Amino acid sequence: MSDTIQFHSRVGDDGVLNVQVNLGRAEAKKEVVVTIEAMSTSDEAQQAGAMAWPDFVERTYGSCAGLGLERSDQGAFELPEPIA
């Protein structure tokens, strides 16, 4: 196996990183090398932002429902000329 598998995980409060990766039976009993590389602060911030987005949507979805907002008429869609 010469593939590189990359995934992001977080070290627990106890300082222990638990990793379990299913490589399939074909890779059974083969030796592997695991390299630990700490993420930079900007990488952590970017990942935290990506994880925060679903939470933001959950917290704000429907928050304008009682404001009486309505979508105005969008008009007719103009069809393009057919290609000959």
Which of helix, strand or coil describes residue 55?
A: helix
Claim: this prediction has a pTM higher than 0.85: no
Check residue 14 and give its pLDDT: 93
Q: Which band of pLDDT confidence, cut at 50, 70 and 90, is reported for residue 40?
A: confident
CA–CA dist 38, 41 (Å, integer): 9
Check residue 43 and give its pLDDT: 65
Other Cβ atoms closer than 10 A to 45: 11
Q: Which band of pLDDT confidence, cut at 50, 70 and 90, is reported for residue 1?
A: low
Residues 12 and 18: beta-carbon distance below 8 Å: yes
